[in-house]
Amino acid sequence: MKKNAVRFLLVALPALLLAGFLLVGPTRGTAQTGTAEVQWLGWNAWKITSPGGKVIYINPRLVNPDQVMSLDDVEQANLVLVTNGHGDEVGQAVEIAEKTGAIVVPGSFEFAQWFMQKGLPASQVMAVNPGDRVNADGIKVRIVHSIHGIGVEPMWGHPYTHTVGVAGAFIITLENGWTLFYGGSGSAIQEQAMWGEMYKPDAAIINLGAPKEPMDFAMSVKLLQTNNPNLKSVFPGHHTFVQAAGTTTVAEAQQAVTAMGLGIEVTEPAPGVTYSFSK
């Protein structure tokens, strides 16, 4: 009996090990071929879940008119990206980093110093500038610039009297190659054509603030399409689900995009709904 058991192990063990390898293998492969999940948390706050299970919060103002979650609901965060120092962009970035140990990627080197002044250790803050790249467990974050205010609320004095470098934007490439352009609160700028050609984003989140010029929104889409056949999805950001009277609407943005003949449907996200993308 013992001999049969030993013989079984000698014959079966390699197969079992191979089976174990194959069972583990798809987990790695899923990160390369799986889906990305995008969730609008209201205002300009977004949660991205990568194919490999990494969680990225962007401009995490969780407390907003369309709030779908609170700090208590945050269980995991690997990266927290923040474009500029305005309170409606910073949101609960510091608290999320403190709670989860996430790495904070700000839009500029000076902004990184502000986060450290707020008590985050240097090991948790990337002191980067536009033109830099952050590699984190298979995720690439390219920091680029945007045209927008950069004031922060200092630890003293009047809000927005201190500035922190330049406002940023991000180009995020997940493990499977799916790439998102996040424009923060910025406007259309010619460099978006260069970034469209260089990084070929599959999706874009573009500022649609209350006084936004719809043609400016559409021009950002057009520029990001430069030598880039990948761009298929566009979301508005920096807005409320129900736009107040007199403010720019998603319908107006769509009309401008259509008038330019760009062939893109602007996706109006619902708060808390998850949108899935594959590469």
193 and 77 in a single domain? The answer is no
What is the pTM assigned to this prediction? 0.87
Shared domain for 102 and 202, answered yes or no, is: no
Say whether both 52 and 125 belong to one domain.
yes
d(CA 19, CA 216): 54
**217 three-state secondary structure:** helix
Alpha-carbon gap, residue 104 to 107, rounded angstroms? 10
Task: Specify whether the CB–CB gap between 37 and 274 falls below 8 A.
Answer: yes
Q: How many CB atoms lie within 10 A of CB 247?
A: 15
Considering the domain architecture, whether residues 160 and 258 belong to the same structural domain is answered as no
Residue 208 has pLDDT above 70, yes or no: yes
* Predicted pLDDT at 148: 84
Mean pLDDT of 231-243: 95
Within a domain: residue 278? no
Total domains, the chain: 2
Instruction: Report the half-sphere exposure of 31 (CA within 13 A, side-chain side).
Output: 14
> What are the pLDDT digits (tens) for 16-63?
333 332 223 334 456 878 999 999 999 999 999 999 999 999 999 999
The tens digit of pLDDT for each residue in 114-144 reads 999 999 999 999 999 999 999 999 999 999 9
Report how far residue 50's alpha carbon sits from residue 34's, in angstroms, rounded to the nearest whole number. 8
Helix axes 109-117, 93-100, angle to 10 degrees: 70
Strand partners, 52: none
Boundaries of domain holding 205: 187-270
Claim to verify: residue 118 and residue 149 sit in the same structural domain: yes
Predicted pLDDT of residue 166: 87
Query: Is there a domain that residue 27 lies in?
Result: no
Position with higher pLDDT, 181 vs 160: 181
HSE-up of 198 (CA within 13 Å, CB side)?
12
Contacts for 154 with CB less than 8 Å, ≥ 6 apart? 161, 162
**181 assigned to some structural domain:** no
* Whole-number Å distance between alpha carbons of 81 and 59: 6
H-assigned helices in 107-246: 109-117, 191-199, 214-224
Cβ contact 233:202 at 8 Å: yes
Question: Is residue 205 classed as helix, strand or coil in its secondary structure?
Answer: strand
Burial of 184 (0-12, 13-18, 19+ CB in 10 A): buried
Same structural domain, 91 and 134: yes
Tell me the CATH number at 90. Answer: 3.60.15.10
Q: Are 162 and 55 members of one domain?
A: yes
| Sequence-ordered list of residues with C-beta below 8 angstroms from that of 140, at least 6 positions apart, any chain | 133, 134, 172, 173
Do 226 and 191 share a domain, yes or no?
A: yes
Task: State whether 98 and 164 are in the same domain.
Answer: yes
Angle at which helices 214-224 and 191-199 cross, to 10°: 40
Same domain, 162 and 39: yes
pLDDT mean across residues, the chain: 88
